[in-house]
Amino acid sequence: MEQTITILGLESSCDDTAAAIVRSDGAILASVVAGQAELHAGFGGVVPEIAARAHAERLDICAGDALQQAGMTLAQVDAIAVTAGPGLIGGVMSGVMFAKGLALGAGKPLIGVNHLAGHALTPRLTDAAAFPYLMLLVSGGHCQFLAVESADTFHRLGGTIDDAPGEAFDKSARILGLGYPGGPLVEAEAARGNSARFAFPRPLLNRPDCDMSFSGLKTALRRAVDQLVADQGGISVQDRADLCASFQAAVSDVLAKKSARAMAEFAARFGSTTFSVAGGVAANQAIGAGLRSAASQAGFAFVAPPLTLCTDNAAMIAWAGIERFAKGEFDDMSLGARPRWPLDGRAAPMLGSGKKGAKA
Ligand code: KG4
Ligand code: ZN
């Protein structure tokens, strides 16, 4: 019988401090996420210095809470996995240094994990997805289609050439005077709005590839707001809901149509028909529904992890650590923090990627 592995995972690459304990049979024994939205809300985005300081203060609390929830001591875990990049450098360093201290103190192996690999491998934790599968990773800092061939072989089929959709949601929320993070707030507004009122752009749909562009969308939204202000002196509550609904429909449309392309390309090249999604924007119900229907039209199985495992969390980091542990891959005390760390090293760098600190 295969040995069961239990790993403590740590995540601190953006604005969530998280710790989790996961077993190699897929059991999540504990998953603690301490968000920082309240610290950054007044700035309309993540302030790296504030984030790094908060991570340094909270990592040991989160790790202690996770161990307590799992009813375990540090001595009982087999290894410590930590996000070593990509992300905001201060936060990643806080996590890596904390993990090194724990590993050294408890005499446990240390495993550095790529945050994007954490997202991309989540369908294996939640649904035991078999390789290869197609993944749309769509978050505040990233948007890419990946063929996931193994725990460390990723092939990028395409992605955004400018902003990530989550970034577009956050910037649009800011333009509309909603809070941060913008995604859930825009989604709530959109539920009361008319998505057909504003014809926002759906760029690159005529291009026969899997690339996308979202930066023009927030500019179009800003122009629509300016026009309403010029015409009527301001925007009404209904205007705001209609703007949000029209914006969300444009994002959803582009993601669904490009997913259809990516599925066709993936099936032809890799001969498999599983499509999965991860990252914070995958928490959006309308976008999720669009992707599900695109998958069913393409004859693909659709794997959508639960919302708490779509947004940043440490269970995905622990799982990615389990996959590396199983291959006998460990790090030593020279493990460094990598602010940029593309999953597919062979693919050409995307324009504008990592503008927001390469968060994912
Ligand atoms: O993966 P994630 O938790 O963090 C990183 O980006 O690393 O994703 C956060 C992003 C934010 O931009 C947030 O606005 C967006 O995901 N988001 C959403 C929703 N929930 C979170 N976007 C659209 N609709 C949502 N319901
Ligand atoms: Zn992320």
- Tell me whether residue 234 is in a domain: yes
DSSP H or E stretch at residue 285: helix 285-298
CA angle, 103 as apex, 123 and 13 as ends, to 5°? 50
23-50 per-residue burial string, b: 16 or more CB within 10 A, e: under 16: bbeeebbbbbbbebeeebeeebbbbbee
Do 77 and 175 reside in the same domain of the chain? Answer: no
Do 260 and 136 reside in the same domain of the chain? Answer: yes
Q: What pLDDT score does 349 carry?
A: 63
Check pocket membership of 142 for ligand 1, CB cut-off 6 A.
no
CB 85, CB 338: distance < 8 Å = yes
Do 106 and 177 reside in the same domain of the chain? Answer: no
Do 195 and 137 reside in the same domain of the chain? Answer: yes
The boundaries of the domain holding residue 23 are 6-123+309-326
Tell me what the mean pLDDT of segment 82-89 comes to. Answer: 94
Give residue 233 CA to ligand 2 midpoint distance, Å. 39
Give residue 163 CA to ligand 2 midpoint distance, Å. 15
- Tell me whether residue 110 is in a domain: yes
- Total domains in the chain come to 2
Indicate whether 317 pLDDT > 70: yes
Q: What pLDDT score does 350 carry?
A: 60
Give residue 279 CA to ligand 1 midpoint distance, Å. 7
Indicate whether 87 pLDDT > 50: yes
* DSSP track, 109-171: -EEEEEHHHHHHHHHHHHH-PPSSEEEEEESSS-EEEEEEEETTEEEEEEEBSS--HHHHHHH
Which ligand 1 atom is the nearest neighbour of the CA of 310?
A: 1
User: Which residue type does 298 have?
Assistant: A
Check pocket membership of 360 for ligand 1, CB cut-off 6 A.
yes
Give residue 45 CA to ligand 2 midpoint distance, Å. 15
Where is pLDDT greater, at 39 or 247? 247
User: Which residue type does 70 have?
Assistant: A
46 Cβ neighbours under 8 A, 6+ residues apart: 14, 15, 36, 40, 88, 356, 357, 359
Give residue 201 CA to ligand 1 midpoint distance, Å. 21
Report in angstroms the alpha-carbon separations of 40 from 69, 71, 103, 162, 353: 28, 33, 31, 23, 22
Indicate whether 15 pLDDT > 90: no
Where is pLDDT greater, at 257 or 44? 257
Report in angstroms the alpha-carbon separations of 284 from 69, 94, 133, 140: 29, 30, 22, 13
CATH code where residue 204 lies: 3.30.420.40
Tell me what the mean pLDDT of segment 179-186 comes to. Answer: 91
Indicate whether 104 pLDDT > 50: yes
Tell me what the mean pLDDT of segment 37-41 comes to. Answer: 83
Residue 146 bridge partners (DSSP): 135, 156
Helix, strand, coil shares, percent, the chain, to 5: 45, 20, 35
pLDDT per residue as tens digits for the range 292-307: 999 999 999 999 999 9
Check pocket membership of 283 for ligand 1, CB cut-off 6 A.
yes
- Tell me whether residue 188 is in a domain: yes
**pTM for the model:** 0.92
Check pocket membership of 284 for ligand 1, CB cut-off 6 A.
yes
Do 244 and 255 reside in the same domain of the chain? Answer: yes
Q: What pLDDT score does 359 carry?
A: 43
Do 137 and 22 reside in the same domain of the chain? Answer: no
Proximal ligand: closest to the CA of 36: 1
Which ligand 1 atom is the nearest neighbour of the CA of 169?
A: 14
Check pocket membership of 183 for ligand 1, CB cut-off 6 A.
yes
